[in-house]
A and B are shown apart, each in its own frame.
Chain A
Amino acid sequence: MDSRQFQNLLATTSVTALLIGVAAEPAAACYTGPFGHTNAGATACITVANTSFTGNLVNTGTISPGNPTGILISGSTITGAVSNTGTISAGSGIVIKNSTITAQTVLAPIGIDDRGLLVATNGLGISIDNQSKVLGSAVGVNVELTGTFSGGLSNSGVILGSNQGINFELLTLVSGGITNSGSVSGLFGLQVDSVSTFTGGITNSGTITGASTNFGAGASSRGYRRLPAGSATAARSRGASPRA
């Protein structure tokens, strides 16, 4: 072996060693069922894949660091709500792919309800693809009382709520903005209310529709009563009307 061959061997060996070192960190395991489910402890992530169930998916604990997504729902049908009152810190927060979430009962009227801490470290806070639907009898996607919501919301599917299609309310910081290329509809199609700082703007290339024909009889997300933390069967119930 001449000196050049030796140097090449050293270099190759070093790179291999580095690759082995990287690969030695296994991806964190996700909770994959059964569902409905309430996570009250700590888990790396929750994955709902190619399944159908009736009941809610609730996080009151901590989901971190994701894999890389905190909650991934793909190819599934959920008759119930997805709710976070705990902490999600992951690459992306909640990602919905090719799935339908139908939360249209009195006890579970919000499709995706985030009232906890959701931090997306390098992706979207909430993402709904163009094969998905989030249907809430009151609100389609609600982000409220979380303090900080980062990563923004992207929808290219269908979001429906009788009050708001999308509602961001009572928040300290929202970063990443809201992007819609799908369909959002509700009394207020999209509402941002009582946010200290909202960055990233709102971009719509799809359809946002406000019905607003039944304001007097309608209800605000503020008026919804959130059921006890940890409940995997209910989120909030109806209350009073929003301000004009």
Chain B
Amino acid sequence: MNVQTTTVFSGGITNSGTISVAGGASPGFGRALWLGTSSPGGAISTFSGGITNTGAILAQKTGILVKYGDTFNGGISNSGTISSASVAGIVAANVTTFAGAISNTGNGQILTAGSAIKISGIPNFLGGITNSATISAGSGIVASSGSTITGSIADSGPLVATSGPAISIDSTSKIIGGTKTAILINGVGSTFTGNVTNAGVLSSNLAALSILDLSTFSGSISSSGTISAGGTGLSVSNVTSMTGNVGNSGTISAGNIGLSVSNVTSMTGGVVNSGTITAGAAGVNVTNVNIASGVVSNAGTISAKTGINIAGSSINGFVSNFGLISAGSGIIVSNNSTITNGITDTGQILATSGPGQQHDHQRYHRHRPDPGDVRSRHLDRQDQPG
């Protein structure tokens, strides 16, 4: 089905039956429900009423493609099946203002070897992206090419990305969460497979990127972009099994914790900062986490109340600072934590408050404890010479 070169389209598109399309040699084919064309001249200037699918949309390339246009009102809602063999399940691209959410809910399933949901070149995406159903795709949810989402990406359903990122924000894109968490992965008992990558901007009055209440998370979480949060910048919490690193190589500015991993029963992977964290509480927090294999390290810059806080955790690896920690307390290890290979500091730790606070060179210290078990060790100015 194709609608193109139309000034005003109202009433939306509703499918409770089956829309299917086979492939073809031309790039223009294989799209089951296609609004617009391959060039701006084929746009629908104003589309209203949204797209609702409760049936089946079966495509060789893309299930639903919205490309080019000034305004798209009403969003895209799927509670049926969208299946595509190659490119994508849902794509919205090059629309000036997209008002309305893209959602996959209820009994919905998006099955594709490409991207499940992709937005590209949408400077005003108002409404967010929600998945509470099933996504099994090469890549999960992708925002790219200068897209700005005002709202959030929220996933509470099983999401499996088999060959690409589960959630990806490229360097030209933004999520402005406001009163919502910019990226929220929250599903009790759900499985999430694939990486979460941010190279753009995430901002929120709350946490900017939060992953919580999962049974299994398989994949890395990394930000090389900018995170600005009123609460915690990047948070992982209440996960039974996690495989993959949590890392920041960009910039995090957080009112609370910069990068936090807590209540993870079993984790294989490290917690690594190589970027810049400015936080109201801890820069890096690891609480009640059992890291079976991995490290907690800083190779970047942390400015916070506490540089690295480790509490009630077991780390079969080491804790290290290769960068600069400028904090009230440098590294705090507490509540019966175990660090198998000790703490290494080859960088700089600047303790800016506490006993003996002084503004001299002694505030900088290098600490190289003996390798080995460190239990409940509180490393701050109280432990340092001078």
Contacts and interface: CB of A to CB of B under 8 A. Distances in A.
B49 to A, nearest CB: 5
Nearest to B56: A207
Contacts of A209: 18-21
Contacts of B16: 204-205
A188 B2 contact: yes
Given A190-B2, A198-B9, A208-B17, 4 more contacts: A199-B11, A201-B49, A202-B12, A204-B14
Given A191-B2, A195-B6, A212-B29, A202 B19 contact: no
B8 to A, nearest CB: 5
Contact of A193 (B5, B14, B24, B30): B5
Nearest to A170: B5
Nearest to A207: B18
Query: What 3 pairs between A and B have smallest CB-CB spacing?
Result: A201-B11, A244-B28, A210-B21
Interface in B1-49: 1-30, 32, 37-39, 42, 49
Contact of B17 (A177, A191, A194, A207): A207
Interface centre among A194, A197, A213 (most CB of B within 10 A): A213
B27 A244 contact: yes
Given A208-B17, A244-B37, A202 B26 contact: no
Contact of B4 (A192, A197, A199, A206): A192
Contacts of B18: 206-209
Interface string B46-84: 000100000100001000000000000000000000000
Nearest to B20: A209
A13 interface: no
A215 B3 contact: no
A204 B32 contact: no
Contact of A202 (B11, B25, B28, B37): B11
A4 interface: no
A211 B1 CA distance: 11
A244 B55 contact: no
Contacts of A201: 9-14, 49
Interface centre among B1, B27, B55 (most CB of A within 10 A): B1
Nearest to A165: B1
Contacts of B11: 177, 198-202
Categorize the interface residue count of chain B.
Answer: 35 or more
A191 B26 CA distance: 17
Contacts of A181: 17
Nearest to B12: A201
Contact of B22 (A197, A202, A206, A213): A213
Contacts of B42: 243
Contact of B32 (A192, A210, A214): A210
Contact of B6 (A177, A194, A206, A216): A194
A136 interface: no
Given A208-B17, A213-B22, A215-B24, A194 B5 contact: yes
B38 A244 contact: yes
Nearest to A214: B24
A98 to B, nearest CB: 22
Nearest to A169: B5
B21 A204 contact: no
A210 B22 contact: yes
B7 A196 contact: yes
Contacts of A189: 1, 19, 21
B250 to A, nearest CB: 39
Nearest to B13: A202
A203 B14 contact: yes
Given A192-B3, A196-B7, A198-B8, A208 B55 contact: no
